[in-house]
A and B are shown apart, each in its own frame.
Chain A
Amino acid sequence: MSKKHFLTTPGRYAEIQRICQFVADGAAQAGLDETAVFNIELACDEASANIIEHAYGGENIGEIQISWHVADDMFVVTLRDNGQQFDPGRVPPPPSSQNPPQADDIDSIKIGGLGIHFMRKMMDEVVFSRDPRHGNKLVMKKRIKVK
């Protein structure tokens, strides 16, 4: 396993770009291609926004701790927070090109749930967990493909 790199930020929307940049720089350093870096950036963006909006229920309530490292052929990003537990099972299934949202029922689209779908689509593994001492933990992994 490579060295772990850490960043801790206040839970504010304005900090998300810094989080994304921190992880994107790490992904580029780990040898991921531009598309993979973009995907990881989007996944971290959505994860951070979810922490602020859902775990903390607003800005400036708590901190977000982000780390990245390389393990075997995986780029691993971990986000931690001390907010409310997130239950991914409550997120409705995503619309898709094969099953697009209909114009007539656009009101019913759970567009607030899009973030987790992007995270799952963009990354190879997404695992949520929680323990009483350390709070919420989200681990997202992206396979490093040999160029």
Chain B
Amino acid sequence: MSITQTQSDNTHHISVNGRLDQAQTPRLEATLTSLLDAGRPIIIVDLTETTYINSGGLRCLVSAWRQARQQDGDLVLCGLNERLQEIFSMVGFDKVFAIYPDFEEAITGIKNNEQ
């Protein structure tokens, strides 16, 4: 798995490539924690290249989402394939996160929410 991170203005784009499982989730957790520690983050977690997620991966994302919201920031998701969408909806997390089809729509959605 690889994680790439880019920033534009106050928005952080985190792309997760590969499997989000017990072995790899701690790396995503560390990346998100460092952004959250910096304060008031707007984070887009891009799952376009993510092939797999388990409950540990979901736990990591929910925890970061909660912390971002507590700091008046936000964490949104984009690019979920059909299987990932199914996993999110199975436990109602599709109603917790703002989920966009791709990165561009996530940016648009965040800008619309700011207005």
B-binding residues in A (CB < 8 A): 13-14, 16-17, 35, 38, 41-42, 45-46, 49, 94-101, 103, 106-107, 109, 111-112, 114-115, 117-118, 121
Query: CB within 8 A of B54: which of A45, A98, A100, A121?
Result: A45
Question: Interface size for chain B: under 10, 10 to 19, 20 to 34, or 35 or more residues?
Answer: 20 to 34
A49-B54, A103-B69 known; A96 vs B92 contact (CB < 8 Å): yes
List of 10 A-B pairs having minimum Cβ-Cβ separation, nearest first:
A100-B92, A100-B95, A114-B55, A95-B92, A13-B22, A115-B55, A97-B89, A111-B59, A45-B54, A96-B92
- Which A residues lie within 8 Å of B92 (CB)? 95-101
A16 to B25, CA, bound (A): 13
Q: Does B27 contact A (CB under 8 A)?
A: no
- Which B residues lie within 8 Å of A46 (CB)? 54-55
Q: Does B100 contact A (CB under 8 A)?
A: no
A99 to B94, CA, bound (A): 11
**Total A-B pairs, Cβ < 8 A:** 77
A49-B56, A99-B92, A111-B55 known; A16 vs B66 contact (CB < 8 Å): no
Taking the closest CB of chain A, its distance from the CB of B74, in whole angstroms, is: 12
